Structure 1
Amino acid sequence: MVIHYKCPSCGSDMVFDSDTGMLSCDSCGKKENIDTFPKENIKTTFEENDGKEYHCKNCGAILITDKDTTATNCSFCGAGVVLLDRLTGSLAPSKVIPFTISKEKAMKAFKIWCRNGLLSPKGFMTADRVKGITGMYVPFWLYDLNSRVEVNAICTKVRTYSKGDYIYTETRYYDVYRDINIDYIKVPIDASEKMDDELMDKLEPYYYDELKEFNTPYLAGYIAEKYNYDHKELLPRAASKIQSYVEAFISSTVSGYTTVSYNRKDIDTNKKHAYYTLLPVWMVYYDYKGTEYIFAMNGQTGKVVGKPPISQTKVASWFGGIAGGTFIVLKLISLIMGGSLW
């Protein structure tokens, strides 16, 4: 099924406007509230060939297009690709965080971010070689998790004191038991096999108080990818993601001891709920000296993540400055202590 949101005034296609949170017509400028958009202006087409998916020969990404697309550019890597297979699934998320940063604002934020790259080559910092910038909704599972923890440890408190001519060390032993119940809500795990997990993790945090019930108009004008992994497959990664927080909480409950030796630490993490959610991401493709660099921007907060090129000259100058400063400090110390300056 292909859905078009037609402008009630002029009949042109409308897209989601991240600045106003409304459907917007580029032709006449009319704005329409998503929740009250006239149903008679929602045009749907049902045809056997109305949906296709293509596989990028360069990076293997799976993206959704309409039935008339035969060739396009991959929004993940920018490569030219050809459609191969029919669309076999449907997007059925339960939640969405709409874009709040427009393409223009995203470009401006990216250029500012590039200029702050103190160790990046000067040519890169100008941010004038952007090959493309694509707004896409990346599939995530948001997990509500519960961890039941049982801990048994032998702990000590050591006290040293003097009495007469003697120094005494007193050690007291404690058998410590903890039964802990911890809840975590909305732990995000990206569900696309082609997105870099580390890159997506670094985009956090998103503000989940702005989650909306999914409504198709939010996708108008953007690309949306379907998930590759269901919530059962990604549960181990979600449990692993909160492991350090669970460990830190356990440690906080056995503080105040000189030593802590764990005999048993059982952690059982289970899923309470999982929500298929689309989160907004701007993908930026940047060409520098024949090499393409891919950056991601949180479409809600503007946070940019990625690995820019490093200038070896700047790195050498930076370390040289540190070494030179250290040398001067050491010479001054030598002078103060009676040595010669050179």
Structure 2
Amino acid sequence: MILHYKCPNCGSDMNFDADSGSLSCQSCGRHDNIENIPEDLRTATFSEDEAKEYECKNCGAAVITAQETTATHCSFCGAGVVLVDRLSGHLAPAKVIPFTISKEEAIRAFKKWCRKGLLTPKGFMTADRIKSMTGIYVPFWLYDLNSKANVTATCARVRTYSRGDYIYTETKYYDAFRDIDLNYVKVPVDASEKMNDELMDKLEPYPYDQLKEFKTPYLAGYLAEKYNFTDEQLLPRAKDKINEYIESYISSTFAGYHSVSYKRKQINTRNMKSAYVLLPVWMVCYDYNRAEHIFAMNGQTGKVVGKPPLSSSKIALWFGGIAAGTLFALKCASWAMGGGFW
């Protein structure tokens, strides 16, 4: 079943407005607080159905989508529609962080980011080749993880001192044991197979204090996807994301020793709680030099990630400048020490 929102004043389509955080009509300017929308239109639930074709209630056209799509636009009338039957039961997100950056703001922020590229080609820096700017709610799992670490190590402290004409080195060895209990909350892992995991990881962090109870009007006017992987399937990735922090914390507990030799290190990480959430992402397709470059922007913070093209001439000038500067510094040092400048 398709759900889309009509303006009570003029009958035009209403979409979620990132600036005001409300459901907005662009025709007459009406704004509706999402909390005041009738409950059956905010959190409608239906039986799960994997059908790929829906009928647009606005114009009657067939809306054909991929099975993962939960919100889209009608290709004929442009109405923003939400496929609520794909957001029910175990497919219903628990929370959502709404967009706070509008499309216009996202375009301006991306152009500003492009101009900061010191090693990018001049043509790229003008940022006038944006092919598409698409707002997508990407499915994530947020994990609350508990890690218990039991560590046994031999540590050494070295002291050097002198007596008379002799210098002594004293080494003392200690057996050390650590019993560590760590908690990590809201560890994010994207659950869409279409999204590049590296890009999604680099968009972090999100302001999780902005998480809101999921309501379908937040999706109106944007694209959205349901998860392709369960929380159990993605748990190994969540554990991998915190491993570096666990190792760093363990190492910090042995500060003050000159050397540490681990005899036993056992780490057990458990999933205490996981929640299915939707997070806002602007996907940018940029056409440059007959190639498409994909970038992503955090829909809350404006952080942009991606790999822009590099200018070989600028790189050559940059390294040439470093080499020339280094050579000049060495010549100056030689001259200061009594040698010839040349």
- TM-score computed with the length of structure 2 as normaliser: 0.88
Alignment of 1:113-192 (within 5 A): 113-192=113-192
Letter of the aligned partner of 1:53 in structure 2?
A: T
> Which amino acid letter does the alignment assign opposite residue 257 of structure 1?
Y
- Matched residue type, 1:31: H
Confirm whether residue 241 of structure 1 aligns to residue 241 of structure 2: yes
Corresponding residue pairs, total: 322
C-alpha distance in structure 2 between counterparts of 1:134 and 1:144, whole Å? 30
Residue 211 of structure 1: CA displacement?
Answer: 0.4
The CA deviation at 1:87 is 11
1:19-64 deviations in Å (ceiling 9; x for gaps): 1110000110000000102469889899985274338xxxxxx545
Query: What residue number does 2:278 align with?
Result: 278
Contact 2:71–2:220 under 8 Å retained in 1: no
1:56-135 paired onto structure 2 within 5 Å: 62-64=68-70, 89-90=86-87, 91-135=91-135
Q: Is the 8 A contact 1:6 1:43 kept in 2?
A: no
Aligned residue number for residue 202 of structure 1 = 202
Q: Does structure 2 conserve the Cα–Cα contact (< 8 Å) formed by 1:4 and 1:42?
A: no
1:184-333 paired onto structure 2 within 5 Å: 184-333=184-333
Deviation of 1:167 (Å): 2.4
Query: 330-339 or 301-310: which moved more?
Result: 330-339
- Counterpart amino acid of 1:278? L
Q: 1:3 to 1:44 in 2, by over 3 A?
A: farther
Deviations 1:136-191 (A, max 9, x none): 00010000000011000011111121223332222221111111110000000001
What CA deviation, in whole Å up to 9, does each residue of 1:219-271 have, x standing for no partner?
A: 00000011111000100110010001001111111111111110000000010
How high is the sequence identity, in percent, across the aligned residues? 62
Partner of 1:80 in structure 2? none
Deviations 1:111-142 (A, max 9, x none): 00000000000000000000010000001000
Task: Tell me the secondary structure at the aligned position of residue 323 of structure 2.
Answer: helix
3-state SS in 2 of match to 1:128: coil
Question: 1:337: Cα distance to partner?
Answer: 2.5
Query: Cα distance 1:42–1:246, how it changes in 2: closer, same or farther (>3 A)?
Result: closer
2:34 aligned counterpart, secondary structure: coil
Q: Equivalent residue of 1:240, what SS? A: helix
Which residue matches 2:35? Answer: 35
Contact persistence 1:53–1:87 (CA under 8 A): no
What is the distance in 2 between the residues matched to 1:8 and 1:40? 16
Q: Is the 8 A contact 2:139 2:278 kept in 1?
A: yes
2:5 & 2:144 partners in 1: Cα distance? 34
Helix, strand or coil for the counterpart of 1:201? helix
Does the 8 Å contact 2:117/2:125 carry over to 1? Answer: yes
Decide whether the 8 Å contact of 2:285 with 2:295 is kept in 1. yes
Q: Secondary structure at the residue paired with 1:308? A: coil
**Equivalents in 2 of 1:185, 1:32: separation in Å?**
33
| Partner SS for 2:66 | strand
In 1, are the aligned partners of 2:95 and 2:212 still within 8 Å (CA)? yes
Gaps of 5+ in 2: 55-62
Amino acid at match of 2:226: K
What's the C-alpha RMSD, in Å, of the aligned pairs? 2.6
Distance 1:268 1:45 in 2: 38
Distance 1:341 1:123, change over 3 A: same
Partner of 1:79: none
